[in-house]
């Protein structure tokens, strides 16, 4: 998980356009994505969170930018980083069943300020509206879906599944969009916004 905030308070962060290409292609694991985000957005402060052993490994990476810091955190515990512009959860939900996935998101909600973004990066399970695709096109995602069920009693999720997870985690956490790169049918970023009291993001 990473929390990041832009200069100029919440408005600065909210107006910053998120460039999915800056994140795509960054190596996975041990802080590579947080490092890539911090390098791509030098005006942002990025805090990487994970279990202590993952944090120790990430802190040893070379060429770490000054706007990146590290904080061990158990994602089932209440989020301690309050008031970030955005929280980025990458590949940490799909191996958890619904109750635990909702718990992970719920632990984040008390830390959210109005307008905060929650960005979840996961595979996208094609929904009913996309059934025209060939089974071969769907092979990778179906295989991973079966692995998630077999090993973790979990599953890959449709956009509607993610919208429901956000809703169950907090009534003010509203699914607003999903982002995909052309040609990459599996990786997807799901965006939710924590609404103001009057309902305006
Ligand atoms: C598939 S990896 C994804 C790592 C990283 N987010 C990425 O996208 O490269 C899942 C991560 O969840 C972390 N994790 C598992 N249980 C956790 C917990 N209770 N609290 C915090 N992190 C946890 C693991 O240490 C691991 O780094």
Q: What is the CATH number of the domain that holds 57?
A: 3.40.50.150
- The whole-model pTM stands at 0.83
CA-nearest residue, atom 7 of ligand 1: 29
Residue 92 belongs to a domain: yes
Count of CB atoms situated within 10 Å of the CB of 157: 25
| Residue 51 in contact with ligand 1 by CB distance below 6 A | yes
Mean pLDDT over 38-64 rounds to 95
Give the residue numbers annotated as catalytic, written as ranges.
94
Residue 46 belongs to a domain: yes
Residue 115 belongs to a domain: yes
| Residue 122 in contact with ligand 1 by CB distance below 6 A | no
pLDDT on residue 185: 64
Domain that holds residue 88: 2-194
| Number of separate domains in the chain | 1
Mean pLDDT (the chain, rounded): 84
Contact criterion met (CB below 8 Å) for 194 and 173: yes
Residue 199 belongs to a domain: no
Count of CB atoms situated within 10 Å of the CB of 66: 8
pLDDT band at 140 (very low <50, low <70, confident <90, very high): confident
Cα–Cα distance measured from residue 173 to residue 191, given in angstroms and rounded to the nearest whole number: 10
Mean pLDDT over 143-171 rounds to 93
- pLDDT, tens digit (0-9, with 9 covering 90-100), for 4-46: 676 644 444 444 554 544 444 444 467 999 999 999 999 999 9
Residue 89 belongs to a domain: yes
Residue 200 belongs to a domain: no
């Amino acid at each position: 998980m990473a929390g990041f905030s832009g200069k100029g308070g919440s408005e600065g962060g909210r107006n910053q356009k998120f460039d999915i290409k800056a994140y795509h292609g960054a190596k996975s694991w041990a802080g590579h994505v947080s490092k890539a985000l911090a390098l791509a957005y030098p005006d942002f402060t990025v805090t990487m969170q994970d279990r202590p052993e993952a944090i120790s490994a990430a802190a040893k990476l070379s060429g770490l930018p000054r706007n990146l810091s590290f904080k061990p955190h158990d994602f089932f515990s209440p989020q301690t980083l309050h008031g970030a512009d955005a929280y980025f959860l990458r590949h940490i939900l799909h191996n958890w069943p619904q109750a635990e996935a909702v718990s992970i998101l719920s632990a984040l909600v008390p830390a959210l300020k109005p307008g905060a973004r929650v960005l979840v990066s996961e595979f996208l399970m094609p929904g009913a509206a996309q059934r025209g695709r060939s089974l071969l096109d769907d092979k990778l995602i179906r295989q991973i879906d079966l692995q998630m069920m077999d090993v973790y009693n979990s599953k890959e999720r449709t956009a509607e599944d993610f919208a429901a997870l956000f809703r169950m985690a907090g009534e003010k956490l509203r699914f607003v969009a999903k982002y995909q790169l052309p040609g990459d049918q599996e990786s997807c970023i799901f965006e939710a916004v924590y609404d103001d009291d009057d309902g305006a993001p």
